Amino acid sequence: MAEKEKVTIYDISEKLGISAATVSRALNNNSKISLKTRELVLKTAAEMNYKQNRLAQALKSGKTNNVGVIVPYINRNFFSSVIRGIEEELSPHGYHVIICQSHEDVQNEIKQVNTLLNTQVDGIFMSVAKTTQDTAHIQKAVAENTPLVFFDRKKNVPGLSSVTIDDYRGGYLATEHLIKQGCKRIAHFSGDLDVEIYKNRHAGYLAAMKDYKVKAIEKFSIQVNSKLESGASAVKNLWSYDEKPDAIFSASDYAALGAIQELRKMKVKIPSEVCVVGFSNEPFTKYMELPITSVDQTPVEMGRNAAKVFLEQIEGSKTLTIEKKVVLAPELYIRDSSNRKL
């Protein structure tokens, strides 16, 4: 007789001569079933290669033990480190992580949110794409009572929590450091100012310049992408002026690296002629021949905190809306690219 493709609780109950209901309760560790019976059922299930129907379990319990994480790119250390933090915090609670990439495209983001909701994940973690303006797809998660926690990049949607760093403070610290190195003509590579994190870093830069009575030169503030080529192009632009910067604060480590590469081609001495500071503290910043000063975003801690906010929300009363705004403190790591006091 051919062996059945899939063993059911009825096969186990038939073999042991007990009811299917008893088998089901034993498999689910029901305390009403004696320890001896539970051990016998589990041993028999293992021998028969029985696998529980996870979909049926999810429908019964209302939980899938899956969460979705939507990031712009997975190949950036910052985002992969946030995911690590989320996994490390949620894994002991039995959760599995489904990773999605938006590639900075809001249409991809919309599809991913809908897919995760249709998969009935227990929660969603999201760093929004730069092109995200309308939040209808995000509000859909709210309407379906699916916890959604923003990290790094967020939208102000009522009822949703977020975990970010103080980007304003990070921008201030970076600029203050350059001023204290004696820099007077500080350029800023700002990133897209329609994106809140870059807007806040830019505001921190301007505030430090004002507080220390250093003139912010408008043409020295350039919007760049988080790419080496963009940083290099911005330097070429700046060095076409008669008056040149003596420092660059970049809202992106990648643009900062591109700037350094271009400055070296021009035989500009770093940091004696030009100091450079980046943002994010990507791993490459400390391993360069010329290590780059950068603002650390504590991504693993950010992921852990986002997971903790999620756990608070699902463990609270279903009638209670938990909306938390967690803001982490940035830290400036001073290295050779800006440290004139070495």
Residues 35 and 70 in one domain: no
Rounded Cα–Cα distance for residues 42 and 29 (Å)? 10
The closest alpha carbon to 294, from 276, 281, 275, 308, belongs to 281
pLDDT digits (tens, 9 = 90+) for 82-111: 999 999 999 999 899 999 999 999 999 999
What pLDDT, on a 0 to 100 scale, did the predictor assign at position 124?
Answer: 97
pLDDT digits (tens, 9 = 90+) for 150-204: 999 999 898 899 999 999 999 999 999 999 999 999 999 998 999 999 999 999 9
The closest alpha carbon to 229, from 249, 201, 251, 257, belongs to 257
Residues 173 and 155 in one domain: no
Residues 105 and 141 in one domain: yes
What pLDDT, on a 0 to 100 scale, did the predictor assign at position 5?
Answer: 64
Taking the CA atoms of 102, 106, 110 and 113 in sequence, report the sign of the dihedral they define. positive
> How many domains does the chain divide into?
3
Residues 118 and 186 in one domain: no
pLDDT digits (tens, 9 = 90+) for 43-80: 898 888 887 665 555 545 557 889 999 999 999 899 99
In a domain, 78, yes or no: yes
- Which domain does 21 fall in, by range? 9-52
Lookup: tokens for 291: 């290590």
